[in-house]
Structure 1
Amino acid sequence: MHPTVDVSESGLTERQKDVLDAALALLVEAGDTLTMTSVARRASCSKESLYKWFGDRDGLLTATVQWQALKVRGVPVDPEAFNLASLTAGLEGFAADWLRVLSGNISVALNRVAVGHAGSDKHDLGAIVLENGPFAMARRLKPLLQLGRETGLLEFQETDEAFRTFFGLVVRDVQIRLLLGDRLGLNETAIDRDARRATQQFLALYGINTNQARNGHQS
């Protein structure tokens, strides 16, 4: 069930944000045992309020995952002032946010529980994380990719394919290594470096000037 509140910075009250932060903390500590009762107790909130705001446990889990995903900020697109520099900055900023969230304890805990739910009869946190994690990231980045194509800075056939390529360049093996307990130690310097590297590799693959130069050289 979807939450009944608008899970966005502007749509949530401070009290609701505190509740979702409490739910995230409990997921890190307790994983699959998170209940409406435990969240209400941790957040000093009534269960009646939880059911009013989020509907049921799946609604609360959905809102919690959406709240975590909001930490990867969308990229503002302004067609009037769009150029290679703004495209590059948008991709780098998105990639850095993504790596920062992905490597945090909360996302690692969420993904571990989600993997355990996948293909089971339990509450389907796997589907919730998939819809509000990678799929939400795609919806958030696609306008930037499409504007890049419309303005002649990028060349690709399918936006989904371009996003999946960017996903692979940014995430690489980071997620699976973290899920398996590897301590990568991704500090801010490493995150910024990896975000720049992924962006430059993506532009090398899909940047129109790069493709034209390659074709000209081959001819």
Structure 2
Amino acid sequence: MKKQGNTSESGPQQARERILHAAMATFVELGYTEASTLKIATRAQVSKRELYALFGSKQAMLTACIADRAGRMQLAAQLPQPNHREELANVLAKLGATILREVSHPTVIAVFRLAITEAQRAPEVAATLDSARQATRSAVRDILAQAQSSRLIAADNLDDLSARYLALLWGDLMMSMLLCMREAPSTREIEHKAKQAAEDFMKLCTEPRR
């Protein structure tokens, strides 16, 4: 009986992982519109009934695929609150490295390309992806809000500051990957870019007047 219980508990999770893997592969291969739930279920070796029991719709599967990657970037809450400018630079560099590493992953880049390709036929793909992008911007914004509260940077508009930092972080890297002009950056390049972006950002952000 114990063995059956373990099978019952692990079965749905294993099926869920197979479905997500099959869904992403099918989305990338056929496009979101042409990727039917039947094709995904067949690829995942599950019934359509089981697929719909775990995911209510095709968009729900895409949302879960994106959320799985986005969840790996929920680092802001784990980072220490900076108490001085050098510590703020280190926190931004650490967060930046996480953003670059996760967003540069081939699966994530494939989703971006999918959103561009399906922009007219399936705008929900872009909408789902933009929700994940909002989470990244919020993580940066929260750190900068803490920095303003601690009077480490001037009280400029937080949305503008977040956009400025992310622009420094990415440069033309994203566009180059989307156009298949280059591969994802190496760990060493990621660390260098994240550190450089943090240093450049700190030079642009003045300290508040005492």
**Counterpart residue number, 2:127:** 127
Aligned residues, how many?
A: 196
- Which residue in 2 is equivalent to 1:6? none
AA aligned to 2:73 is V
AA aligned to 1:99 is: L
The structure, 1 or 2, with the larger RCO (C-alpha pairs under 8 Å, 6+ apart) is: 2
| Structure 1 stretches lacking a partner, 5+ long | 1-11, 213-219
What code does the residue aligned with 2:140 have? Answer: L
**Where does 1:108-119 land on structure 2 (aligned, <5 Å)?**
108-118=109-119
Unaligned runs of 5+ in 2: 1-11
Q: Which amino acid aligns with 2:111?
A: L
1:131-190 deviations in whole A, cap 9, x for unaligned?
Answer: 22x212112222211101100112242211111111111111111111111124511111
Aligned amino acid, residue 41 of structure 2: A
1:88 partner letter: A
Q: Does the C-alpha gap of structure 1 residues 45 and 207 become closer, same or farther in structure 2, counting only changes over 3 Å? A: farther
- In 1, the alpha carbon distance for the partners of 2:146 and 2:110 equals 35
Distance in 2 of aligned mates of 1:86 and 1:17 = 38
Say what the alpha-carbon RMSD is for the aligned residues.
2.5
CA contact (8 A) 2:15 2:46 kept: no
**Any conservation in 2 of the 1:36–1:47 contact (CA below 8 Å)?**
yes
- The equivalences for 1:197-208 within 5 A come to 197-208=196-207
Alignment of 1:1-219 (within 5 A): 13=13, 15-32=15-32, 33-75=34-76, 76-79=78-81, 82-118=83-119, 120-122=120-122, 124-132=124-132, 134-184=133-183, 186-208=185-207
Q: Cα offset for 1:13?
A: 4.8
CA contact (8 A) 2:37 2:58 kept: yes
Distance of aligned partners of 1:49 and 1:203 in 2 relative to their CA distance in 1, 3 Å threshold: farther
Q: Conserved in 2, the CA contact under 8 Å of 1:146 and 1:159? A: yes
Q: Summarize the Cα distance change of 1:140–1:22 in structure 2 as closer, same or farther, 3 Å threshold.
A: farther
Q: How far, CA to CA, are the matches of 1:45 and 1:98 in structure 2? A: 34
1:207 CA displacement: 4.6
Question: C-alpha distance in 2, partners of 1:82/1:25?
Answer: 44
TM-score (norm 2): 0.80
* Secondary structure at the counterpart of residue 200 of structure 2: helix
Q: Is the 8 A contact 2:41 2:51 kept in 1?
A: yes
Identical counterparts, % of pairs: 23
List 4+ stretches of structure 1 deviating above 4 A: 12-15
Distance between the aligned counterparts of 2:202 and 2:181, measured in 1? 30
Structure 1 residues 13 and 138: alpha-carbon distance in aligned structure 2, compared to 1, 3 A threshold: farther
CA distance change for structure 1 residues 150 and 129 in 2, over 3 Å: closer, same or farther?
Answer: same
Change (3 A) 1:78 1:196: closer
